[in-house]
Amino acid sequence: MTALASSFSTSMARYGRSFGLWLLLLIAPIGARFLVAGPGATSSIISAEGRIPVLTSAFMGAGLGIIIATLLLPVAFIYLRSNVTRRQPWQVEEVAPASRVAIAYGRWAADSAVLLAVLAATTAAGVVLAYLMLPPEEVNPAVIAFCLWVIAGPAVVLVASLRTLFEARRWTRGPLGEVLYFVFWLGSIVVVAAAQDAHGFAASMIDSTGFMQPVAYSLGGDDSFVIGGGDLVADGATNRIHLDVLAGILSDGYLASRAAWLGIAALVPLFAGLVYLPHRPGRARRKPLIPWARLLEPGSPPRADPNARPARLAALGWLNLLASEVRLLVGRGGVLALLVIAAAGWFAPYSTGAGPAAMLVLVFAATAHAGRSEQKGLLALTRTGTFTPTARRFAFIAAALLWTLTASAGAVAHAALAGGDPVRLLLEAGGVGLVTGGTAIGLGALTRSATAPRLVLLIAWYAYLNLGGSLPAGG
């Protein structure tokens, strides 16, 4: 067998034997049921001019495709990065004479195949739903499949490509990879939304996710549509709007742009193989990318001292547990970051300044800590300790709570003295701490990696940042 074929087939075998793949294949069709606005629906993920689009075969396919290609892409990225194939025997593979390009293509093909299998499952679900929701003569499985795959196919393959690319370099194998993906994902949607009116090949090439043209084409001009639950006009649910998505898909340059994106995605593994950099062997800690990035990383745990006196607080076991979780979470540089943020709260409005800043630092610290402490071997070790892993997880969440409460100190003090609403600030800070801590440790435990919680929390952080501006200022 060639290196390419072997990389592909071993990856496929590993995917097939993991429970995550079957969960993903199950989630897609179940999700489809809730994503499609059937005849009686009163809300819709996709709306145009404040109305729900009329359900047709074409819109069934395009709608599911658009939702996958926009809202669900981070899920695909998370899945690829945190699933079974994230651990590779690089220690022996990197001294093999095989070409890195061949290995990259083999793994990329497997990643793509898995995501395309999800599309297939979603397509099947779409066809079934169409038969349930539409008169039988209006159901056209070929049109459903065509619209769905043209939009979402290149988009998900591009996710596999980025995963492959990020695997090739040292920095992007870690947290920076998730940050870059988040920026790319957000950027691709924002850029497209800014170019709504343009048509043709060049305009479609801006849109790697492929969602714009099919919807915007039949609206024409500067009509607005919303993905992700916009407000409907009064009769927006009953008096629906007809979107001819098929016309948009078949319009000038669109199909060519999808083919071009597929071609770009297919070239990325070549590039990834050429720029591949071996892992850093040995046991040294990764050097942070930029000196101050150390602040974002929890330091290594304190060195064990066999001659240390027993802790004075040993009797207060719970308090000790909490203290050690706080220490692991905050790390060495964290204290400084925390103090800076807490102090900044005095000067800037909390919900757009210190609050999101505190959450962002916490996201990186908490997911790194959660990813490390939820490793299988370590769990086996901690299970033999005084505290169960569950107790430790609760202490972890409590530590995250303490983090955001501490970070809000400046803002709370200012609010209390200047006649603001300190209680609301404390609730906000506490809520963010609980959600961040809970998500980090919950998803970390489920996926045994830091990738999933990190990306989910980055998206939540972005939402918080935007939401913060619309909250009443408390500081």
Partner 1 sequence: MTAILDLKSVSKRYGKKLVLDGVSVAFQPGLTLLTGPSGAGKSTLLRLCATAERPSGGDILWAGQKLPGARERLRRVLGYAPQAVDLPEELTAREFVLHLAALKGLKTGEADRQFLALAEAVGLHADANNRISGFSGGMRRRLVLLQALLGQPQLICLDEPTAELDTDSRQRVAALITRAAQSAIVLMTTHLEDGVATQARAVLRVDGGRVQPA
Ligand X SMILES: Nc1ncnc2c1ncn2[C@@H]1O[C@H](COP(=O)(O)OP(=O)(O)OP(=O)(O)O)[C@@H](O)[C@H]1O
Whether the CB-CB separation of 84 and 20 falls below 8 Å is answered with yes
Which tokens belong to 193?
């939304």
Q: Measure the CA–CA gap between 185 and 162, rounded to whole angstroms.
A: 11
User: Is residue 347 within the footprint of partner 1 (CB under 8 A)?
Assistant: no
Encoded amino acid at 439, one letter: T
- If we measure between CA atoms, which residue out of 251, 250, 257, 61 comes closest to residue 155? 257
- In the bound state with ligand X, the residue whose beta carbon lies nearer, of 95 and 284, is 284
Q: Measured from the CB atom, is 242 or 280 closer to ligand X? A: 280
Nearest-approach distance from CB 279 to partner 1, in angstroms: 9
Q: Examine residue 280 and tell whether it contacts ligand X (CB under 6 A).
A: yes
Q: Which amino acid is at 325?
A: E
If we measure between CA atoms, which residue out of 6, 35, 182 comes closest to residue 106?
A: 6
Would you state the structure tokens that stand for residue 373, as one six-digit string?
């402490």
CA distance 44 to 338: 41
Least distance to partner 1 from the beta carbon of 356, Å? 35
E strand residue ranges, 49-161 = none
Answer whether 430's CB lies under 8 Å from 412's CB. no
Q: Which stretch binds partner 1 (CB under 8 A): 68-76, 90-98, 167-175, 421-429?
A: 90-98
* Rounded Cα–Cα distance for residues 3 and 20 (Å): 26
Residue 103 beta carbon to partner 1: minimum distance, rounded to whole angstroms: 7
Please list every residue from 275 through 314 that binds partner 1, using CB under 8 A: 278, 281-282, 284
- Report the candidate in 105, 104, 126, 112 with the shortest Cα–Cα distance to residue 35: 126
Q: Which is nearer to ligand X, 282 or 306 (CB)?
A: 282
Contact 442, 374 (CB under 8 A): no
Q: Smallest gap, in angstroms, from Cβ of residue 4 to ligand X?
A: 30
281/310 with CB nearer partner 1: 281
Among 27, 41, 84, 260, binds partner 1 (CB under 8 A): 84
Quick one: which segment of 253-261, 274-282, 363-371, 421-429 binds ligand X (CB under 6 A)? 274-282
Q: Which of 97, 220, 221, 282 binds ligand X (CB under 6 A)?
A: 282
Work out whether 284 is an interface residue with ligand X (CB under 6 A). yes
**Cβ nearer to ligand X, comparing 17 with 283:** 283
Contact footprint for partner 1 (CB under 8 A): 1-3, 5-7, 10, 13-14, 17-18, 84, 87-98, 103, 278, 281-282, 284
Contact footprint for ligand X (CB under 6 A): 280-284
